[in-house]
Amino acid sequence: MSVPQNIDSWQQVHSRQDFTAYLQMLSADCETACAGQDPRIPVAQRWSNQSVDGFLWAWARLLESRLDGTDLLQEQSPGRPGWQGLAFQLDHVRTSPPGFASAPADMVTKWDDVNSAHDLRMYIAALATDFVRDQREYEAKRSRGEWAHDGGSWAHGLLYDVLDAWAAWLGSTPLRAELEPVTWRSVALQLSAAQIYE
């Protein structure tokens, strides 16, 4: 797949290929921000949420605040966020104030159970909770001197690596039919893949 390299804004995203390039840009920008390599732009203006769970909780808050279908989700048609709408959400989330959302009691734990923005919010909350659990288990193993790199449910512990894995999976997956058109379920599938893709 040919990926355009000049995507630097969510407004430029019109296709899966554009979104893949946008994810790659976000990954590189997040890595730069995390390393503090660009003093021209304050990190807080570009990346308020630099941790995986912080990013996911900000996304859950966004979905919770916009479940009425308002234009913040940039839906291209009812029930379908579209590639540009998805890019817009990620752009909004990366600069949202840090913090947690309330974890819904009825979390959705399987991507294929997602049918709406509400379901995606519950799935994202489950992912954020699972990421924190996975990181705690990793640290506990390391502190006991045990091998900590086997069997975790997250392939990556850094946000820019997760974004990069998401982009890599989108560029190589044979599941193209499940991705077009973009639906809340296909977004959940993408996040599920990004969680484990190396």
pLDDT in tens, 2-25: 444 678 888 899 999 999 999 999
Task: Report if residue 1 sits inside a domain.
Answer: no
Contact in structure between 166 and 194 (CB atoms under 8 Å)? yes
pLDDT tens for 131-182 read: 999 888 888 877 887 766 665 689 998 999 999 999 999 999 988 888 888 8
Task: Tell me how many degrees the CA angle 34-193-189 measures, rounded to the nearest 5.
Answer: 115
- The whole-angstrom separation of Cα 51 and Cα 41 is 19
pLDDT (0 to 100) of residue 43: 47
Task: Report if residue 4 sits inside a domain.
Answer: no
Task: Report if residue 36 sits inside a domain.
Answer: yes
**How many residues belong to the chain?**
198
pTM score, two decimals? 0.83
Q: Which amino acid is at 160?
A: Y
pLDDT (0 to 100) of residue 71: 43
Contact in structure between 10 and 29 (CB atoms under 8 Å)? no
Q: Where is mean pLDDT largest: 21-35, 132-146, 183-197?
A: 183-197
Task: Report if residue 159 sits inside a domain.
Answer: yes
Task: Report if residue 21 sits inside a domain.
Answer: yes
Q: What is the mean pLDDT of the chain?
A: 81
Task: Report how many domains make up the chain.
Answer: 1
H helix count then E strand count, the chain: 8, 0
Contact in structure between 189 and 175 (CB atoms under 8 Å)? yes
- The lowest-confidence range among 29-38, 114-123, 145-154 is 145-154
Task: Report if residue 2 sits inside a domain.
Answer: no
pLDDT (0 to 100) of residue 148: 60
Q: Which position has the higher pLDDT, 188 or 70?
A: 188
Contact in structure between 130 and 123 (CB atoms under 8 Å)? no
Distance of CA 23 to the CA centre of its chain: 9
Residue 184 sits in which domain range?
10-196
The answer to whether the Cα torsion of 13, 17, 20, 26 is positive or negative is negative
Task: Report if residue 113 sits inside a domain.
Answer: yes
Task: Report if residue 5 sits inside a domain.
Answer: no
Q: Which amino acid is at 123?
A: Y
